[in-house]
Structure 1
Amino acid sequence: MGVIPLTEAPSIHPSFPPSLLAGSSEGLTEVFAALGEAIDAVRAAARPTGPIPAGAPADVLLSAAQALGPARLPAEGLGGKAALQLLATTLTEHGIDLSHPRAAAHLQPPSLAVAVAADALASATNASLDTYDSGPSAIAVERWLIGVLIDLAGLGKRADGVLTPGGSLSNLLGLLLARDAAALRLGLNARQDGVAALPGPVVFCSELAHFSVQRACAALGLGEAAVHPVPTDERRRMRPEALAAALAALTPDQTPLAVVATAGTTDFGSIDPLPQIAEIAADRGIWMHVDAAYGFGALFSERLAGRLAGLELADSVTLDLHKIGWQPAATSVLLVSDTSAFTALDREVAYLNPTDDSEAGYDGLLGRSLQTTRRPDAVKAAATFLTHGRTGMGRMVEICHDLARYAEHRILEEPELELVAPAELTTVVFRYRGGDPADSDRLNGALRRRLLESGSALIGRTEVRSGGPGSPQRVCLKFTLLNPTATADDIDGLVDAVLDAGRACVRLTEESAA
């Protein structure tokens, strides 16, 4: 085969010790010894007093970069202990502390300790999910986790699922399967013939759906213009009658591919009326995808689970356990109601899954994902579920929901604050309304940046339409409360910090105008 043989054996350098590799017994001992030393460095570091380092962004980033030294590969390494201590100190002194009770900006929770420990174990094995001989136990753990999530969602015996690198990728995969299902319905093969085989593709979603729906359509070659936003009601939920009207208005040269319902909008936590949307989609034979990246976690709570009634009617579901699930990012999942939906992803590759190996049981999960090598992210989630059970997970969800309701109550009590959207899940949207009303958008933006620069509190920002269609978007503030160890006193402190920052911004404005 054109191979040129060696005329003599190559010279081999002395081998490294077994402790160099994490997968060995000696290596695992080294891993956890090194982690212990890194943790000691974290404890000794000058942690910021707030959830984020104080200072202007450029200064904070420069300090972190300078701590690491020149941006070039050193000729000689520092050694594991020194390298981990340097990184641990840098991450601690110049980074975010999501466990701080005033970290309330994004759907980015503090990670559970058991999940982080399990993630280190998973990384040590470096298993992959694509083939049996890349990680059999990791495959078994993911299949177990998928079964647990299918049971929670109520999707039935033919359901299946796969972990993905994030909610945006889960939505992309869900819409890819919807596209191929629509092509199959028309007697076409989108995988072979491309999107040109689909005349006038259309995807419907709420006007408040996540922007990843547009991104997915662009990536799939459908174009962002394929997305048709559907108006929402006063509770910021998709209006079923508007969806039905939009479907009825389609022309013969348009192909409806999917209806994307949202179970937990990013800003408001609002949940579209899933049963009604499912009925409309089923009547037209259209794929229903539910983006429950945020809201799926409500199913852990028996008190809140009813808010997701109708989820079991979906053809596919996105969920993120790195949101309400307290997992290290990313731990996203796509569930499907029928495992045959994954047929479009099937691949037979000689060096991975030849037919005779697969028939003998030596198969992996290559045919469920757009990825080939795929790390065992299910391990950390499985450890969490086995540790806390549904009761423990549900209690964490309910605490965060109750904290949001308390924040809503506190905002309503403050004359300087205006409640924009109440707590549906764990977010509350509001505005500071002190100072000149004509200057309120600038003031609210400045207020949040003041908190960021001081390092005292980390809150979110968004824009919300102030009235009906065509009304202006107003800058709003947002609490996203995902810390189950926080208390009502912490919420009081967060609200007080907002009020203090708002008053300071008003004073600065008045002084500059004087």
Structure 2
Amino acid sequence: MNNEIIPLGEVINSPSPHFSGKFNNIFHQNNYDHYRSAINDTLDLVGKFLHRNDKPFSGIEAKKMKTMVQHIDLNRKLSSYEELLSEVDDIYVKHATAFHLPQYVAHLNCPIVIPALAGEILVSAINSSQDTYDQSAGGTFMERKLIDWTAEKLGYNPDESDGVFTAGGSQSNLMGLVMMRDCFSQKKLNHNIKLDGLPSEAGRFRIFISDKAHFSNQKNASIMGLGEKSIVKVPTDKRFRMDITLLKKYMKREILMGNIPIGIIATAGTTDFGNIDPLEDIANIAEQHNIWMHVDAAYGCALLLSDKYRHLLNGIERADSVTIDYHKSFFQPISSSAFIVKNKRELRILKHHADYLNPEEMDEEEIPAQINKSIIQSTRRFDALKLWFTLRMMGQEQLAEYTDRVIDLTKDIAEMITEDPQFELLSDTDLSVLVFRYMRSDIKDLNALNQFIKMKLFYSGEILVASTKVDGNLYLKFTFLNPITTTEDVHQILNKIKSHGEDFSTDK
């Protein structure tokens, strides 16, 4: 046998009969030229997406879009990447929402940074799985390093805390609820839910959130067998933050009714208003009742890097667990999120041993397994690599500068809206969401007026804004996450809103 080592370049460029024909699509060193050609062709389509878009949406109606996709015959193989990319361009790329444009001010979709996109290439190509060390190796410790880094930013002791990357904020919130429920059951009821199922008292468990908290809390409570009835919505104050006086009142009421408070979920950046619940006050109440405090900081986590606005998160270091969404506020591609716990020993609740992955006799220090910290994901992408690329190439200071610019812009726009008699600003914001509506003195149905404006903007594709309802009234909503957006950009958006508002007629 010839054991001569062949240089990598020769291996890549030399044809092999074993990888011709039916095997030429397998990612392999002998098919590198094929891979590079496919990637380059796809990059050309990315370039088209960037350069031909001057508005965030094509305006195509869902009915037409559905018909276009349904007409595709998936049983017919295409002849080339050129044909494939043309098809995908027609039914996806031409109509994909362009989050990077300043005219997109609708939802919590951030523009993404180039280092993270470079990392995405490696994530997809190498395709590591983060569940066990033998499927990831260095990726295991890189993820752990980023978890420790995030924990330190939260104010946790990185030696005592821990966590794991997740698919998104809703999953992280689910993990927070599971930890809350199971830790309470073990410590207060001496009952192991993992082994024995829900205790008889579970029907009386109560979890307190603000009435502006994320909807995932109700869905998660349902999944966990507690039912939506376990979620107690506490009204908010004038700034749409959890009202502490009412939180105390509601907790007392539930206790008098025979129910059992097991935790409080605070929101650091509500979806509708971008405001942060009073974390210090909530932490005091959680400590007083000796119950779990979880903070949903999926949106507000960007403040962790900001010297200017970090104080808005004071008290988060007292929480038992925190949800982080890097793909909202750290300018990362979807998905890139994390769940962090203050006391890593609590994560033992989630551990389950499987002989083919993490057998009980395995030495965790010698062969670490991230699957011990994950709740519903076994196979899991190395999404942490994108954040690694970002921090190493940009540094946290530049990310913080982006966040500061967005918040500063929002303050300027809030002032602009307040000073304009044709608009009504409902509330200020801690972060970068503005809820407002267009006003016309001759129109009584302001809901119909503002819905008309929103849909006119949407189907023209020129500007995408969101909307929400507060006390039955419909409002328009700006969500700013793009540091490139300027006050002039938003001034033009407001003028377009006025223009459509002037076109509204009760006869339509």
Matches within 5 A, 1:123-272: 123-156=124-157, 157-185=159-187, 186-199=189-202, 200-249=204-253, 250-251=255-256, 253-272=258-277
> In the aligned structure 2, how far is the partner of 1:191 from the partner of 1:243?
30
Tell me which amino acid in the other structure corresponds to 1:480: T
Shift in Å, 1:28: 5.5
Aligned-partner Cα distance in 1 for 2:439–2:236: 26
Deviations 1:116-162 (A, max 9, x none): 22112111111111111111122122111101111111111311111
Retained in 1: the 8 A contact 2:19–2:30? no
Aligned to 2:454: 448
- The separation in 1 between residues aligned to 2:155 and 2:81, in whole angstroms, is 47
SS in 2 for 1:178: helix
**Residues 233-261 of structure 1, C-alpha deviation per residue, up to 9 Å, x if partnerless?**
11111122222222223137422221001
Aligned pair 1:439/2:445, yes or no? yes
* 1:410-445 deviation line (CA, Å, top 9, x unaligned): 212322111112232111110011254431111111
**Judging changes above 3 Å, is the alpha-carbon distance between structure 1 residues 404 and 240 closer, same or farther for their aligned structure 2 residues?**
same
Give the structure 1 partner of residue 413 of structure 2: 407
Q: 1:11-50 to 2 correspondence within 5 Å?
A: 15-17=18-20, 20-22=25-27, 24-25=28-29, 30-44=34-48, 47-50=52-55
Give the match for residue 303 of structure 1. Answer: 308
Aligned equivalents of 2:98, 2:344: Cα separation in 1: 40
Q: Which residue of 2 aligns with 1:104?
A: 105
Report the CA distance between 1:372 and its aligned residue. Answer: 0.8
| C-alpha separation in 2, matches of 1:83 and 1:416 | 49
Quick check: 190-199 or 145-154, which moved more? 190-199
Alpha-carbon distance in 1 for matches of 2:436, 2:106? 13
Q: Which runs of 5+ in 1 are unaligned?
A: 1-13, 466-472
Q: Please report how far the alpha carbon of residue 207 of structure 1 lies from its aligned counterpart in structure 2 after TM superposition.
A: 1.3
1:509 aligns with 2:506: yes
CA drift at 1:60: 4.2
Which residue number corresponds to residue 476 of structure 1?
475
Offset at 1:111?
A: 1.6
Aligned-residue offset at 1:503: 1.3
Alignment partners' CA distance in 2, 1:151 and 1:126: 29
Q: TM-score, normalised by structure 1?
A: 0.89
State the 1:403 CA deviation: 1.8
What amino acid sits opposite 1:207 in the alignment? D
Q: Is the 8 A contact 2:210 2:235 kept in 1?
A: yes
How far apart are residue 34 of structure 1 and its match?
A: 2.4
1:16 Cα deviation (Å)?
2.9
Q: Distance in 1 between matches of 2:261 and 2:141?
A: 37
Residues 80 and 34 (structure 1), Cα distance of their counterparts in 2 relative to 1, 3 Å cut: same
Contact 1:38 1:88 in 2 (8 A): no
Q: In 2, Cα distance between the equivalents of 1:360 and 1:299?
A: 30
Name the count of aligned residue pairs.
Answer: 484
CA separation of 1:135/1:21 partners in 2, compared to 1, >3 Å: closer, same or farther? farther
- Counterpart CA distance in 1 for 2:462 and 2:488 is 15
- 1:276 corresponds in structure 2 to 281
Pairing 1:278-427 to 2, within 5 Å after superposition: 278-358=283-363, 361-370=366-375, 371-427=377-433
- Normalising by the residue count of structure 2, what TM-score does the alignment of the two structures yield? 0.90
The answer (yes or no) to whether the contact 1:316–1:337 under 8 Å persists in 2 is yes
CA distance in 2, matches of 1:289, 1:462: 25
Distance in 1, matches of 2:111 and 2:33, equals: 27
Equivalent residue letter for 2:194: R
Deviation at 1:90, TM superposition (A): 4.1
Alpha-carbon distance in structure 2 between the residues aligned to 1:313 and 1:336 = 11
Mapped partners of 2:160, 2:265: distance in 1: 21
Q: Distance in 2 between matches of 1:235 and 1:26?
A: 61
Letter in 1 for 2:247: L
CA distance in 1, matches of 2:368, 2:294: 28
Q: 1:487 corresponds to which residue?
A: 486
| 1:280 maps to amino acid | I
CA deviations on 1:334-374 (whole Å, 9 max, x unpaired) are 11001111111111111111234435722311110121111
Superposed CA RMSD in Å reads: 2.1
Change (3 A) 1:245 1:110: same
Helix, strand or coil at the partner of 1:355: coil
Counterpart of 2:222, as a letter, is A
Q: What are structure 2's unaligned runs of at least 5 residues?
A: 1-16
What is the Cα deviation at residue 113 of structure 1? 1.7
